[in-house]
Amino acid sequence: MKRFIVILICLVMVFPSVSLAEETRLLGDADGNGRVNAADAALVLRYLVQLTPLVGANWYAADANGDGKVDSADAAFILRALVELAHLDGEITVPPMISNLRWAAPLNKTTLEVGEQLTLTVAYDLDGAAPPKLEFVCSNPAILSLTQTGDSCVLTALWAGFATVKVLDPLSRWEIFFTLTLTDKRAHPLYYKIYSNLRIVDPDFWTNPVFDYVMSLDPNNGCHRVMLTGMELLGKTYSEYDCSKFTMTAFKDAGFPNVKTGASRDQLNYYKNAGLANPLSPNPFTGQFDLSMVPPGSLLFWVDKNGVSNHIGFYLGRINGMDFLLESASGAGGVVIRPNWGSSGSYTLAYWVAPLG
């Protein structure tokens, strides 16, 4: 990589006006396939509800109206342009950017004492781009102090609690975060358990109400802790954690080993027999499920046409008027946070069980 940087610098010196790896994009072509169509508007909408990240050139092309942010106005602008009610103004030139930002070393450390330090380092692919000016931020300086040195940061454990460290390249918009739940294991000296979760997210997640909501969860509250431990599995694939294994692991990791285990159909039968399963039905006028009466952290059960449960997940809570789920779903590729999708195909949302933590 170093040799490549040297070559790049030489080329820039010889041809100062030429920039390598610049990319030209049609404005509005958010998926970069060379055409602007309804799929690009759909991608913008999926990005806005955090179903799909938009990074690098995709984000810049998605800002169809060129106001420096990507929002529903851009989706509307793309759709209007398709029916010639608006004019999409040609091409944009996107500068070369880093790609594939990632933590460089496996994080296999599992305990950290007060005062002890942990170093996180990141790696990335340059692809002709200039080295990025990375920004490291810790969500809770009372729990962890953070010192940045180039492409790594040194964390110092200060106290028990929940904290997240993120690193962001503002230009490419690649970002990853790392969550830690630091638990007081002994009276003296203090020991901490580190849970790690690496996931590529979009920078807007951090100014998003979903992130604020997640950060407001209290690890000392059993029900909240179940959701926090569940979130440590975000990004795991469905083959690693299917829906029932995901919920059972969240309970076990949060310190509730006696929660009913087994496939979702066995779990639902158990809760029905125990009188703990509450039926859910959609609003007859809108077809939407109103979960506002369901406590956050509740288990939700979906059933097939025979009433046999075929899916289970957590109700994360209502955020800015929208209900969110924390679940592992094959259609989503694994463990995700996403808006409540209600019922779909052979999956009918049918029961909730109050938080068990």
Residues making contact with Ca ion (CB under 5 A): 29, 31, 33, 35, 40, 63, 65, 67, 74
Give the residue with the Cβ less far from Ca ion, 37 or 140. 37
Which pair of structure tokens corresponds to residue 195? 């849970």
Shortest approach of Ca ion to residue 29 CB, angstroms?
A: 4
Shortest approach of Ca ion to residue 265 CB, angstroms?
A: 41
- What is the number of other CB atoms lying within 10 angstroms of the CB of residue 106? 8
Report the interhelical angle of 243-253 vs 264-273 (nearest 10°).
Answer: 60
d(CA 51, CA 74) in angstroms, rounded, equals 17
d(CA 219, CA 223) in angstroms, rounded, equals 8
d(CA 159, CA 189) in angstroms, rounded, equals 12
Shortest approach of Ca ion to residue 7 CB, angstroms?
A: 33
Bridge partners of residue 120, in order along the sequence: 153
Shortest approach of Ca ion to residue 87 CB, angstroms?
A: 15
Shortest approach of Ca ion to residue 41 CB, angstroms?
A: 9
Amino acid at 114: V
Give the residue with the Cβ less far from Ca ion, 13 or 83. 83
Sequence-distant contacts of 159-162: CB under 8 A, at least 24 apart: 159/114, 160/184, 160/190, 160/192, 161/219, 162/215, 162/217, 162/219, 162/228
d(CA 22, CA 74) in angstroms, rounded, equals 23
Give the residue with the Cβ less far from Ca ion, 74 or 253. 74
Cis peptide before 189 (omega within 30 of 0): yes
Give the residue with the Cβ less far from Ca ion, 63 or 327. 63
- The β-bridge relationship of strands 299-303 and 309-319 is antiparallel
Give the residue with the Cβ less far from Ca ion, 33 or 330. 33
Shortest approach of Ca ion to residue 34 CB, angstroms?
A: 7
Give the residue with the Cβ less far from Ca ion, 48 or 171. 48
Shortest approach of Ca ion to residue 63 CB, angstroms?
A: 4
- The β-bridge relationship of strands 175-182 and 309-319 is unpaired
Give the residue with the Cβ less far from Ca ion, 40 or 242. 40
